[in-house]
Amino acid sequence: MLKDIATPKRTKEILEKYGFTFKKSLGQNFLIDTNILNRIVDHAELTEETGVIEIGPGIGALTEQLAKRAKKVVAFEIDQRLLPILQDTLSPYPNVKVIHQDILKADVHEMIASEFPGIRDLMVVANLPYYVTTPILMKLLEDQIPVRGIVVMLQKEVADRIAAKPGTKDYGSLSIAIQYYTEAETVMVVPKTVFNPQPNVDSAVIRLTKRPQPSVQVQNEAFFFTVVRASFAQRRKTLLNNLTNNLSFGKEKKQEIEQTLHSVGLDPKRRGETLSIQEFAILSDALYKVK
């Protein structure tokens, strides 16, 4: 019987065998708890017909658990030093392919066409490097990668922001961007003690289920996100202040912005964090006529 990669002893053996040292710049923290890994995989609801995209497989701890349940796993790894280790640790799993590439530069659509032909059910499952969590999630969503959903471990603080509701301190432009494309929920909190090396922060696993259509329909998507970002530019400031100071036409059209806020029933003194995604959609469509 093969020993799981994700035990403190086996992880230590693998790292020593290859003389591997952690690179802080790559945010490398390897999971050493098989129970936690299995629970992450459970939340992805894989079947034998599911294809999985993994980002940052490390030494293959999560990859191994995914390979046991999915039809095929394709993992993107940026650190060249990990390639021989992965070739070794994942050798028992013929349904795994490791691609040495930065996911942010990869053509994921092309990869899916060549690696997952005929597979209809795709999931992203990963223990994401904390320093690039947001760019990776936004790329997967904005590029309209055809997946059923995304189950990822990330910094708890970022998970809180992603799943936040209007009127809370964690709610911001990231919450809206992710909830525009998906339904977001935090499914588990993970203590720092189950990693080698231990990170300074607690982690959480978040599940994003792709919506068939975005949660709101807007005239111009790019402009909608511009309005959202402008509204949160300085959290303590009012909507009117933030929009005037942060939209390209804000200063010269302050009066029109104020009139627009009134016309859609929004008090100019409200703060961005109190608006629902629906209110932002109405506001951005109205401001689109003003700009």
Annotated binding site for S-adenosyl-L-methionine: 29, 31, 56, 77, 102, 127
Beta strands in 191-275 (DSSP E): 195-196, 203-210
Residue 118: alpha-carbon gap to chain centroid: 25
Q: Is 104 helix (H, G, I), strand (E, B) or coil?
A: helix
Sheet of 50-55, strand order: 96-100, 72-77, 50-55, 121-127, 149-155, 203-210, 182-190
Kindly report whether the peptide bond that precedes residue 197 is cis, defined as omega within 30 degrees of 0. Answer: yes
Annotated binding site: 29, 31, 56, 77, 102, 127
Q: Is 170 helix (H, G, I), strand (E, B) or coil?
A: coil
Beta strands in the chain (DSSP E): 30-31, 50-55, 72-77, 96-100, 121-127, 149-155, 182-190, 195-196, 203-210
Residue identified by tokens 């936040």 is 164
Name the token pair of 240. Answer: 């009117």
Residue identified by tokens 């999915």 is 70
